[in-house]
Amino acid sequence: SQWERLMPLIIKMDKPTKQVLVEVTIAEVTLSDKEKFGIEWFANGKNGRYNSTISSQPSENIGGVGLNWVLDVAGATKATLNAFAEDSRVNVISTPRLLVKTGETASLDVVTEIPTVVGRVNSNAQSNGNSNVIEEIVYRKTGVILKVEPIIHAGNRVDLKISQEVSEVLPVESGGTANSPALFNRNVETNLSLHSGGSVYLAGLISSRENNGSTGVPLLKDLPWIGNAFKSQSKNTTRTELVITIVPYIITDENDAKDITDSLLSNLNFIKQEKDLTQRPKTPTINPTKK
């Protein structure tokens, strides 16, 4: 019958929608003089197997005209960050993990809303002979904003549409407006395709900051006219590069979800065990008494 002919197709279609676990690591690497072009030199020829450029709009304080990216198996791109972490030059900003159905969009916001003055209007009302000023306030989000849209294809391939923003509030400079802090934004928007368990390594967003400071003899350095003889000025330039690694995992059934969950829990248990070993008091050694 027609029903019997359609039954195999119905059974094939009546399956749960596949999901994708997207693991993201957002880190900031402090560059030395050797990495004047960023940390691409480290990945190219060592951990990475493919090197290319994703076009992006250049902005102020950003080095280069594009994003360097390296494709490899999961874990290889993290080896690059681990190498820099050994020198204490890596600041991990966030490590989100998002579980989302294929074709859907998942988002993560870890932000602080900063009030910013965008306009001032003099009102007709007066107080003590002075016109009152009405300020227009807009709250801007600063922090980590991540949006991911995966689409699963045949052959365990995943197309990813990624939008990543990392922002922070800059210190108010002398002469600036305290109510309108400056915001430093770094944005990445890209479309790419990966195998399940493969990883992509995005880099190239390099920024430079100048730090001015002074040291000197207390009290004497603050004296007028002669204070400069007792203090010295210092000026340091710090170069950092924003690094993003992305690893998608296709979850087809409960067994895949359980395997990934067990893997994440084992990593947490390993970290806990390492912490316990470092904090556990040493057992005193008792020498047996000879008779």
The string of pLDDT tens digits covering residues 94-153 is 888 888 999 999 998 888 888 887 777 776 666 566 667 777 788 888 888 889 999 999
Among 13-27, 145-159, 203-217, top mean pLDDT goes to 145-159
DSSP 258: H
DSSP bridge pairs for 233: 214
Q: pLDDT tens-digit profile of 73-89?
A: 444 555 555 555 555 56
* Burial of 7: CB neighbours in 10 Å, binned 0-12, 13-18, 19+: exposed
Q: Report residue 10's pLDDT band, with 50, 70 and 90 as the boundaries.
A: confident
Higher pLDDT, 115 or 15: 115
Q: pLDDT tens-digit profile of 167-196?
A: 888 776 655 555 577 888 888 888 888 888
Higher pLDDT, 246 or 60: 246
Cα–Cα distance for residue pair 198/150, rounded to 1 Å = 14
pLDDT at site 178? 52
Tokens of 40: 């691409």
pLDDT at site 160? 92
3-class SS at 171? coil
pLDDT at site 111? 87
Q: Report residue 33's pLDDT band, with 50, 70 and 90 as the boundaries.
A: low
Q: Report residue 8's pLDDT band, with 50, 70 and 90 as the boundaries.
A: confident
pLDDT at 281 over 80: no
pLDDT at site 276? 53
pLDDT at 45 over 60: no
Q: Report residue 277's pLDDT band, with 50, 70 and 90 as the boundaries.
A: very low
pLDDT at site 158? 92
Q: Report residue 62's pLDDT band, with 50, 70 and 90 as the boundaries.
A: very low
pLDDT at site 153? 92
Higher pLDDT, 239 or 125: 239
Cα–Cα distance for residue pair 11/82, rounded to 1 Å = 46
Q: What is the mean pLDDT of the chain?
A: 70
Higher pLDDT, 103 or 260: 103
Expressed in percent and rounded to 5, the helix, strand and coil fractions of the chain are: 20, 50, 25
Q: Determine if residue 27 is left, alpha or beta; phi over 0 gives left, psi from -120 to 50 gives alpha, anything else beta.
A: beta
pLDDT at site 116? 81
| Residue in the block written with tokens 């197997």 | 49
pLDDT at site 130? 65
pLDDT at site 105? 93
Residues 6+ apart with CB under 8 A from 112: 141, 142, 143
Cα–Cα distance for residue pair 85/53, rounded to 1 Å = 25
